[in-house]
Amino acid sequence: MTDLHIRREGRAGRITLDRPQALNALSYEMCREIDAALRRWASDDAVALVIMDATGDKAFCAGGDLAEMYATGRAGDHGYGRRFWADEYRMNARIAEYVKPVVTLMQGFTLGGGVGLGCHASHRILCETSCIAMPECAVGIVPDVGGSRLLARAPGRAGAYLALTGARMGPGCAIWAGFADCFVPRADWADLVAGLVTTGDLSCLPKHPAPESSLAARAGAIDRLFRDHTGAAICAALDTDGSDFAKEAQAGIARGSPLAQACALESLRRLGPAPDIQTALEMEYRFTYRATEASDFLEGIRAAIIDKDRAPRWKHASLAEVTQADVAAMLAPLGARTLTFDGAEGERL
């Protein structure tokens, strides 16, 4: 397909996203093609490692292509979104658990679905322009694609802060928070890839010091202000604090869906500090399975992508209004519809 180049070069399986005009947004077809390639290469002795990158300067992958999900959901077809998410999540798990090294090179924006593609790899490389975030609450869903696992494993309460605010991380912050491993100047990427392709040997990965992290500098404030597991208490702490950082965090929280934010906090509480990828994805799928039918997702997409009025009408006016019953309903087990990781691609859901 023209949006995606999958091939074998030397000792490497190569996957290159090629939709620069759409910031390399990930379509359902692209998810399926990537997953098929990974399954194929897993048993191919000629492939020593996998390299994932993208064309253009602005983005590795700025998220999922949500237009079709919006259209089908508005029409009452909730099955399309459920199939997309299920197959995407299986791809995310495959990357995280892959039997061979996976090297991702993430320039520019890596947001949402791009995090699921690039930040579960075994060797995650950033450059000067890298900008990583989980902004899902701003479109009415929880941080997904395995992002809850990354957020749960972030230092202290940084995961709660990043989930609620959708704050963007430069390379230093992303490495500190555990979303990436190393910094390599963009000018060196071509030689790096050439070496990996030729040798299949990870010893050619250079070692550069990570840039400074403003998140690390704010870790104490984040841990203090976001220590509670309820949105109402966090908002009260921010209001009482009144610092510039607290006001910045409040502005980020104000952009998101209160229901999604409350569910994100509860998901992190349930997952604990070190969840495995499948546990995190199964929890996320409880929300996204219900998303087009019962959450703020369609309204969030309308406001951000369709009408672009940036004025979503959420189901709740604030985090304080979201009840435990609201959260429990969105995160309840799915029974026979529970996400599994051994099902056929594209199975009916």
Of 89, 171, 64, the closest CA to residue 124 belongs to: 171
CA distance 300 to 279: 26
Q: Give the mean model confidence (pLDDT) for residues 340-344.
A: 74
* pLDDT (0 to 100) of residue 348: 41
Domains of the chain: residue spans and CATH: 4-337 (3.90.226.10)
In the chain, what are the helix, strand and coil shares in percent, each to the nearest 5?
A: 50, 10, 35
Of 247, 337, 236, 347, the closest CA to residue 288 belongs to: 337
pLDDT digits (tens, 9 = 90+) for 250-261: 999 999 999 999
* pLDDT (0 to 100) of residue 346: 44
**CB-based contact 40:88 (threshold 8 Å):** no
The amino acid at residue 107 is: Q
pLDDT reading at 31 higher than 90: yes
**CB-based contact 271:149 (threshold 8 Å):** yes
CA distance 318 to 235: 9
pLDDT reading at 345 higher than 90: no
How far is CA 107 from each of CA 20, 129, 171, 336, rounded to the nearest angstrom? 12, 6, 10, 40
pLDDT digits (tens, 9 = 90+) for 70-108: 999 999 999 999 999 999 999 999 999 999 999 999 999
Query: Residue 104 forms beta bridges with which residues?
Result: 52, 124
* pLDDT (0 to 100) of residue 65: 86
Claim: this prediction has a pTM higher than 0.85? yes
* pLDDT (0 to 100) of residue 339: 98
Q: Which residues are catalytic?
A: 64, 113, 136, 144
Mean of the per-residue pLDDT values of the chain = 95
pLDDT digits (tens, 9 = 90+) for 190-243: 999 999 999 999 998 988 999 999 999 999 999 999 999 899 999 999 999 999
pLDDT digits (tens, 9 = 90+) for 169-190: 999 999 999 999 999 999 999 9
Binned at pLDDT 50, 70 and 90, residue 301 comes out as very high
* pLDDT (0 to 100) of residue 2: 85
Binned at pLDDT 50, 70 and 90, residue 344 comes out as very low
Three-state DSSP at 180 gives coil
**CB-based contact 179:150 (threshold 8 Å):** yes
Q: Give the mean model confidence (pLDDT) for residues 244-267.
A: 97
Three-state DSSP at 300 gives helix
**List of residues 6+ apart from 213 with CB closer than 8 A:** 172, 173, 175, 176, 177
Entry field: residues in the chain: 349
pLDDT digits (tens, 9 = 90+) for 309-331: 999 999 999 998 999 999 999 99
* pLDDT (0 to 100) of residue 343: 53
CA distance 270 to 148: 11
